Amino acid sequence: MSVLPLLDVGLALLVVAVATWTMAARDLFASVLGYVAYGLLLALVWVRLHAPDIGLTEAAVGGGVTGVLLVTAGKRLDALKAATSGAAPRLRVKILAGALSALVAGALAFVVASLPTPAPSLAPQAAAAAAGPGAGLGNPITAVLISYRAFDTMLEKIVLALAVLGIWSVGADAAWGGAPAPLRKARPDGAMVLLAQILAPIGALIGVHIFWVGADAPGGAFQGGALLAAMWMVAMMARLVEAPRIGSRALRLALISGPAVFLAVGLAGIAMAGSFFAFPPAFAKALILFIETFMVLSVAVALPMMVAGPPEGGQEP
Amino acid sequence: MNASLLAGLVGAALVGLGLYGLIAHPHPLRKLLAFNLVGSGVFLVFGVVARRGAAAGYAFDPVPQAMVITGIVVAFAASALAVALILRLAVASGGVSLDPQGPAGRDAGEME
């Protein structure tokens, strides 16, 4: 235990240093790479806070998928030759911004250092939800997401569907129903194809595993779905598969299946268990896994479609 | 100094860094990255709250942790929408300036 505090301090310094580099880098691509490294380091900080579930999410989304999103966006901006990006603010503004940022960070640090003891906690309620009749979930976070705060989780999946709809709507009218631009225009080289052929099946298997063990161990529907989404994106980058047309019925059904099944089971709870989002004790766990299966599907489809962007073509002047 | 206080201070520093980047960088994709830095700093502070709320046999309070997971997902969805809007701005105005008086003035002002 004597080395651990030193490791903590080193990790903290490293996270802040990489974050500073991300902000200071001159080049957009360099700063995106910094951000990916930052996401992975932050996942380690989460593990030290006893939050492996958040660490998995941060590594998959903060590091991986957001990195692909920003790299793809940077490449597409380059292709548009849209170089004008406004002038940097004057020195006076920068100094003011620095002072304001330092003030905010200082105030936040003060708040963190003076949090009340004993800290307020909802852990007993979460424990009750986890051990709830018939649920028997070993992972309290899954219990909170699906049972104690079920409504939040369902709305979050609706937000995903709305974001995809918003991104599609940004495309040109004439392109509606078509496919998004490929993640990579160029023909991929052999190494990328080989990587995708080997990595994607293994990654997909691990994704399903993380979802399945999420009931009792760190993991869950979102983390597993994000991994499946990443594997689909790897396959799309290697051009092994192409992005589907946004008019495809199967794609749309997969997108809304998560929130739709969740809502349907929630409504059925009124009849079967007496309240909205209540699960009948006899088969609560089976129902929870049933809902989560469709949530995995929705997440695995929504994330790549968000990265792929609006349908291509039909640019109006 | 224990691990959770240290993480809280890192969160505060990240919020400060991100806020500075959000104001100082003219490029909207850099602003978006900076905003994500602010977001992860806030999540980290909330994670400290979760760690301090250890009770009922858990080493953490599961409720804030679950909310952070939801938050990360929603933050990603918002970022993806922002990227789509930035690319559309570039197509529509030939630039990504957010400055209404900038080179691509009128269009940028309208899309802001």
Contact of A73 with B43, CB cutoff 8 Å: no
Domain ranges of chain B: 3-111
Confidence of residue B74 (pLDDT cuts 50, 70, 90): very high
Count of Cβ atoms closer than 10 Å to residue A317 Cβ: 3
Q: Of the given ranges (A237-246, A254-263, B12-21), which has the lowest mean pLDDT?
A: A237-246
> A50, B37: Cβ pair inside 8 Å?
no
Q: Distance between terminal CA atoms of chain A?
A: 64
Fold of B3-111: Helix Hairpins (1.10.287)
Residue A87 contacts B, CB cutoff 8 Å = yes
Q: Note whether A82 contacts B4, CB cutoff 8 Å.
A: no
Sequence-separated (6 or more) residues with CB below 8 Å from residue B105: B97, B99
Count of alpha carbons within 13 angstroms of residue A95, beta-carbon side:
3
Residue with the bigger pLDDT between A190 and B37: it is B37
- For chain B, say whether A65 makes contact (Cβ under 8 Å): yes
Interface contact B54, partner A, CB < 8 A: yes
* Chain B interface includes A206 (CB < 8 A): no
| Mutation for testing the B interface, residue in A122, A211, A262 having most B CBs under 10 Å | A122
Helix (H) or strand (E) holding B83: helix B62-93
Are A51 and B71 in contact by the 8 Å Cβ rule? The answer is no
DSSP codes joined into one string, A219-268: --HHHHHHHHHHHHHHHHHTTSS-PPPTT-HHHHHHHHHHHHHHHHHHHH
Check if A123 contacts B (Cβ < 8 Å).
yes
Nearest to B47 among A51, A100, A166 (CB): A51
Helix (H) or strand (E) holding B53: none
Q: Residues A20-30: pLDDT tens digits?
A: 999 988 888 89
pLDDT at B112: 39
> A200 to each of A34, A192, A194, how far by Cα in Å?
25, 11, 10
- Tens of pLDDT, residue by residue over A139-173, are 888 888 887 888 888 899 999 999 999 999 988 88
Q: Are A179 and A311 in contact (CB under 8 A)?
A: yes
Identify the helix (H) or strand (E) that includes residue B26: none
Write the CA distances from B40 to A43, A307, B70, B76, integer angstroms. 11, 20, 13, 11
Residue A179 CB-half CA count within 13 A: 9
Shortest distance between the Cα of B58 and any Cα of chain A, in A, equals 7
Q: Is A303 on the interface with B (CB under 8 A)?
A: yes
* Nearest-Cα residue of chain B relative to residue A35: B33
pLDDT, tens only, A273-284: 777 888 877 777
For residue A216, the 8-state DSSP code is T
Q: What is the DSSP string of A157-183?
A: HHHHHHHHHHHHHTS-GGGTTSPBPPS
Asked if residue A256 has pLDDT above 90, the reply is yes
Among A84, A130, A220, whose Cβ lies nearest the Cβ of B103? A84
Average pLDDT, chain B: 84
CB contacts, 8 Å: A167 with chain B: 80-81, 84
What is d(CA A147, CA A140) in angstroms, rounded to the nearest whole number?
A: 10
Confidence (pLDDT) at B111: 42
Distances (CA, A) of B71 to A214, B46, B67: 18, 11, 6
Distance CA A289, CA A2 (A): 41
Mean pLDDT on A165-194: 85
Predicted ipTM of the assembly: 0.89
* Cis peptide bond N-terminal to A5, omega within 30: no
- Give the gap in angstroms from C-alpha A196 to the nearest C-alpha of chain B: 24
Per DSSP, A283 falls in state: G
pLDDT of A305 strictly over 90: yes
Among A254, A298, A223, A239, smallest CA distance to A65 is for A223
Percent of chain A with pLDDT over 90: 38
**Residue B104 pLDDT:** 47
Residue A23: closest C-alpha in chain B:
B21
Tens digits of residue pLDDT in A209-253:
999 888 888 888 888 999 999 999 999 988 888 888 888 899 999
Please give the C-alpha separations between residue A84 and each of A88, A111, B27, B102, B108, in angstroms, as whole numbers: 12, 40, 9, 9, 11
Nearest chain B residue (CA) to A92? B24
The answer to whether the Cβ–Cβ distance between B33 and A126 falls below 8 Å is no
